[in-house]
Amino acid sequence: DAMVIQNPRYQVTQFGKPVTLSCSQTLNHNVMYWYQQKSSQAPKLLFHYYDKDFNNEADTPDNFQSRRPNTSFCFLDIRSPGLGDAAMYLCATSTGLLETQYFGPGTRLLVL
Amino acid sequence: GQNIDQPTEMTATEGAIVQINCTYQTSGFNGLFWYQQHAGEAPTFLSYNVLDGLEEKGRFSSFLSRSKGYSYLLLKELQMKDSASYLCAVRDAGNMLTFGGGTRLMVKP
């Protein structure tokens, strides 16, 4: 059974049109992470939540926002997608900051 | 700054052994992870080292030397399904993961 679920698996949006990606987990983990992975590159951490405590990486563009309404769900909002935002977006969870991160299947975003 | 280096590509033969190296320079060290990532899929956890030495898990083993800033992932009895990218990731002093660029392994018959 899937434990970290991301919807949709593929998302097409238009340049400048806001888009939301979602992640849910059945693990009851405290920490949820969002990574951006461009083709043939390493995953890059955008931000993470420890419970409701939001932590933004210093170089994450303001165009990217996140919401975590409850333990199970976390959303990635891209306010005005540019062509350079086309990537795989990976959600991961862990019980704590010192624990192993488990990844969802990712959402591949295409910006036209 | 964070710097994690691993070879971009490697090729090996089915049934053989391959070693994928990773060197790192990070602000603090709280453990090193290896993940496997098939094309278009999410990374899956393989191994974790926080102390020096070898961790063995079936066909996969991972080694760490903190003084040298060095790790390797050893894959034995290679199978075609092992063709994937292998990501080295270091947890830094802030407990966040920084990933290397990944090593794409191609297993040939």
Chain segment B63-91, per-residue pLDDT in tens: 999 999 999 999 999 999 999 999 999 99
Neighbouring residues of A53: CB distance < 8 A, sequence distance ≥ 6:
none
Minimum distance, in Å, between the CA of residue A56 and any CA atom of chain B = 12
A to B CB pairs, distance under 8 Å: 44
Rounded to an integer, what distance in angstroms lies between the CA atom of residue B31 and that of residue B63? 12
Give B31's contacts in chain A (Cβ within 8 Å).
98
pLDDT given at position B48: 95
Instruction: Provide the pairing of β-strand B53-57 with B103-108.
Output: unpaired
Quote the DSSP letter at residue B81: G
- Give the pLDDT band (50/70/90) at residue A40: confident
Residues of B whose CB is below 8 A from A57: 96
pLDDT of residue B88: 97
Tell whether B2 is within 8 A of chain A (Cβ). no
Question: What residues in B contact A88, CB-CB < 8 Å?
Answer: 40
The string of pLDDT tens digits covering residues B14-32 is 999 999 999 999 888 999 9
Question: A43 in helix, strand or coil?
Answer: coil
Mutate to test the interface with A, among B4, B96, B98, B103 (most CBs of A within 10 A): B96
